C-alpha cells in the first residue's frame, strides 16, 4: 500500500541512530553513500491486527492520514493477500508531484507477527500525466503483538524519488512525512469501524480475539 513516500534509496547504509521520540513515535535515521538519510519509524498502540489491514484497505481515506497523499486506488488484486496499488502525492514547492505503483503482500508467521511487504511495479504501468514516477520502491510494515492488546507498528522503506531534488529537501520531506503518517495511522486505527474488522488470513493474539474468533 502507498503509505509512505520519498524515503531515500537505501544502499550500503551505516548504523541506525535514534533521531527523535515524541508523542509515542520513534524515528531512526542513517546516512547512505548518496548523502541521503534512510528512515525507520515505530509506534505502539492498543489495536487488533485486523484493524491495520482495514485501514490499508480503506484507500479512499488515505489522503486524510498519509502525508501528501493525493489519492490511492487498487489496480489489481491477484489474491486475498495481494494488491497492486497506484498512489499519487502532492509535494510542497519546489518539489514536483510524484506517483508510484506498488505490489503488496500480507503474511503472518507462526510467531503471530503480521507483515506487509511492498515492492515496486512502476515499470509495468504507464506514467501518470503531471507526475514523476518514483522508482525502486520497497517497504516493510511489521505489526508485533506485545501482550494485553498492545501492538508495536514499525515501518522501514526506500525509494528513488526521481527528478533533481536536492538532498536536503528529500531528507526533510522524508523525515516529516514519516512522522506525520505514523501519527495519523496511530490515531486512526483505533476507530471502531476498523477494530470490528476480520480477515481470514489474520490470526489475532488471544487478548484481542472476538467471541467468534475464540471458538
Q: What is the pLDDT of residue 211?
A: 59
CA proximity to 205, closest of 130, 128, 113: 113
Task: Provide the 3-class DSSP secondary structure of residue 165.
Answer: coil
Q: Is residue 117 part of a domain?
A: yes
Kindly report the backbone phi and psi dihedral angles of residue 208, in degrees, each rounded to the nearest multiple of 5, phi listed first.
Answer: -120, 10
User: What is the number of domains present in the chain?
Assistant: 1
CA proximity to 188, closest of 58, 85, 74, 84: 58
Q: Is residue 96 part of a domain?
A: yes
Contact (Cβ atoms closer than 8 angstroms) between residue 85 and residue 72: yes
Kindly report the backbone phi and psi dihedral angles of residue 20, in degrees, each rounded to the nearest multiple of 5, phi listed first.
Answer: -160, 155
Per the structure, the complete domain to which residue 165 belongs is given by: 17-209
Task: Specify the CATH number for the domain of residue 158.
Answer: 3.30.530.20
Q: Is residue 6 part of a domain?
A: no
What is the value of pTM for the model shown?
Answer: 0.88
Q: What is the pLDDT of residue 138?
A: 86
How far apart, in whole angstroms, are the C-alpha atoms of residue 126 and residue 128?
A: 7
Per-10-residue mean pLDDT of the chain, 215 residues long, equals 53 76 90 75 95 97 95 97 96 86 96 96 92 88 94 86 69 84 93 94 86 60
Q: Is residue 50 part of a domain?
A: yes
Q: What is the DSSP letter of 170?
A: H
Amino acid at each position: 500500500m502507498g503509505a509512505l513516500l520519498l524515503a531515500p534509496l537505501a544502499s550500503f547504509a551505516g548504523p541506525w541512530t535514534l533521531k527523535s521520540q515524541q508523542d509515542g513515535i520513534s524515528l531512526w535515521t542513517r546516512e547512505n553513500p548518496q548523502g541521503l538519510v534512510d528512515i525507520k519509524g515505530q509506534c505502539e498502540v492498543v489495536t487488533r491486527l485486523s484493524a491495520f489491514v482495514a485501514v490499508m484497505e480503506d484507500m479512499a481515506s488515505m489522503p486524510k492520514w498519509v502525508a501528501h497523499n493525493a489519492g490511492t486506488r487498487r489496480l489489481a488484486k491477484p489474491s486475498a493477500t495481494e494488491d497492486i496499488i497506484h498512489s499519487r502525492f502532492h509535494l510542497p514547492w519546489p518539489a514536483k508531484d510524484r506517483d508510484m505503483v506498488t505490489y503488496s503482500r500480507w503474511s503472518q508467521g507462526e510467531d503471530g507477527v503480521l507483515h506487509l511487504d511492498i515492492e515496486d511495479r512502476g515499470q509495468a504501468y504507464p506514467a501518470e500525466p503531471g507526475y514523476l514516477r518514483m522508482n525502486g520502491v520497497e517497504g516493510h510494515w511489521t505489526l508485533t503483538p506485545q501482550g494485553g492488546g498492545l501492538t508495536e507498528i514499525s515501518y522501514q522503506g526506500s525509494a528513488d524519488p526521481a527528478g533533481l531534488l536536492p538532498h536536503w529537501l528529500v531528507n526533510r520531506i522524508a523525515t516529516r512525512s514519516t512522522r506525520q503518517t505514523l501519527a495519523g495511522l496511530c490515531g486512526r486505527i483505533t476507530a471502531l469501524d476498523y477494530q470490528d474488522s476480520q480477515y481470514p488470513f489474520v490470526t489475532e493474539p488471544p487478548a484481542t480475539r472476538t467471541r467468534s474468533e475464540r471458538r
